[in-house]
Amino acid sequence: MWTAPRPVVGLRNANFDQYQRLFPRDRREAPAIIVGIDENALAVAGQWPWPRTKVAELVARIQALRPAAIGFDITFSEADRLSPGALAKSLPDLPRPVVEQLGSLPANDTVLAEQISRSPVVMALVGESDPSAGTLTGIAPLLIDDKLGASLRRYAGFQSSIETIASRAFTQALLNGDTDQGVIRTAPILADVKGTQVSGLSLAMWQAATGSPILATDLGGGMAEVAVGQLRVPAASDGTFLIWFGRHDAKHRIVSAAEVLKGALKPDTFENKLVLIGATGIGLLDYKTTPLGEFVPGVDIHAQMIEQMFTGQYLRRPSWFLWIEIALLMGGILTVRWLADRLSANRLVAVALALGMAQIVAGLLVFRVAGGLLDIAWPAVGTLLASSLVLADSLARSERQRRALREQAARISGELSAAQRIQMGLLPNPQEVFAGEGRFTVAALLEPARTVGGDFYDCFMLDPHHLFFVVADVSGKGLPAALFMAAVKSHMKSAALASDEHLSTVMRRAQEDIGRENPESLFVTAFAGILDARSGRLVYTNAGHEPPFAGLPDGRLIRLERADGPPLGTLENFEYSQGERPMQAGEWLCILTDGVTDATSADGKMFGIERIRETLEKPALAAWPGEVVKRLQTDVAAFAKGAVPADDLTLLVVRWNGPSA
């Protein structure tokens, strides 16, 4: 099958995105409502993930309001570690009668499974390219003709909820969406997952609500039709669905899970609605970019697809559209060529512009009237390029412009190199700053993904006995992130030096300073701590950052999971809490950024938390910060093997040697 070159695809996507920006889908009806796990819900029910009993309570409260069906945009792929039996096993010092009593209680997963069995509930699964063990079960049968079934997209593996939960649901459905250059435009509503035909979440919700089977037929011309009862949905022959986005409407489309748990909703809020449960909190990082340029929760994509199906507002791109586009291109080129010897250069350019404009208007009309995605971008560009061949003097202008651009690029390169030297010079060298200090040892490393980056670390003494340290990651990359990083670093240090030992005050002041000087609405994750060099007492707080690892003198490795809050720059007036830990002599703390976890190998795999844990738990690893930094740096470099870095890589390791070391 012919595949368009990358520049053509990029131009085509930009063209189709512009259609949607000019004519976003009208939200005529509201068949779907999202129950969002947002910041308010986390404040009411605690840090995510919640115990499955809390999720069961949420489902029960939704069921009480009589929805047509419920769908999860979340998978529960592991057993709940907060189940009574699991807690008993994790606390070996409990009295035997207590252990036996806890073991006799139903597991949290069983409670959730029992609750979802009481109404039509669709559980989520994610198709993956890597093969996975196990067999996919609990899927409602689909009736798909053989021709269409053979052309569906295939996933060799999957991630789904555990069998206890999945087996009690109405069905499991696919969450996957397709992104190109970070923008989601299509999603599979039919796919083959490890040999089992599966529907997308939006389509499965209709099936659960109506009880009708899903029927799918190949129509030819690259198109298929999917039917659920009276519903008729067009799809591509590989089972993908073109999403026509409307404006993000959080006010009317999303209800906070906090309101559901409080019982604060009107009795008819969910009546006969398709209710989706998903993460909408910015700190949970399940956000996608749409062609409208909006940054929306992933669950909102499925709600918009359900609305499309309900109102019949579909986009279509049959395979024969390509022949129309080729005809438009050839017609424009031949017209310009025929007129080249008959018109002056100025008139020829005017005609070419008129032809290009006519093609653009034709594309807009096809989209507005019939929802057709006719790509007029490259026919219009081709017509204009053909006319440019008769403009000889444009060559000289182009050459001068290219020369100027090369000179500008050289200047920018030199300026970026200088910026890198300045940025790295802002970071302290722990070996120099703490030379002669025996009570603790600090080592650090920063490797920008580009010439300059948005990560930073800092470490300095608040007084003769208290060490302040911070590791942070600014959103974005390159020069904007680097400029923001310098400002944030200054704000953090100023707040720390002015706030004694109270980290909550440090974070609040830093948040206020960042909010006053953040016109681009950037945000920054940060982990900060204060170590009492005399006693080893550590206080810390975490603003949306990866929890650090602590290596104990006996070789065990733990993570500091408490004292969490949202990234700086996201929520105003948020009061950050602080955790506390008495460090033992010889204990070390490793703070890192997502340049370590997100480091990618040549085959697309990520370094991940487990590989970090394996590196830090190696028996040969010395408990000195320099060795910890060197080992992690070496393992990440070996794993990536020359691949382009996914993000800035920053490490900071602090070891408390003891009060009189």
Every domain of the chain and the residues it spans = 29-311, 321-391, 430-656
Q: Which of 594, 449, 596 is nearest to 526 (CA)?
A: 594
Would you place residue 512 in the very low, low, confident or very high pLDDT band (cuts 50, 70, 90)? confident
* pTM over cut 0.75: no
Nearest 10 degrees: CA dihedral of 374, 375, 381, 384? -10
- The mean per-residue pLDDT over the stretch 218-230 comes to 91
Question: How much is the pLDDT for 493?
Answer: 86
Evaluate whether 531 touches 657 at the Cβ level (below 8 Å): no
- CB 427 within 8 Å of CB 639: no
The pLDDT of residue 98 is 75
Average pLDDT rounded to a whole number, residues 438-466: 86
Most confident of the ranges 112-116, 279-283, 285-289, 292-296: 112-116
Strands (DSSP E) found in 308-385: none
Give the model's pLDDT for residue 67: 96
Distance between CA 624 and CA 653 in Å, rounded? 8
pLDDT of 313 higher than 50: yes
Please report which confidence band the pLDDT of residue 105 belongs to, taking 50, 70 and 90 as the band edges: confident
pLDDT above 80: residue 411: no
| Helix/strand/coil (H/E/C) assignment for every residue in 292-305 | CCCEEEHHHHHHHH
pLDDT for 222? 87
Homologous superfamily in CATH for domain 430-656: PPM-type phosphatase domain (3.60.40.10)
345-372: pLDDT as tens digits: 778 778 878 888 888 888 899 999 888 9
Q: How far is CA 455 from the centre of its chain?
A: 19
The reported pLDDT for the residue numbered 383 is 79
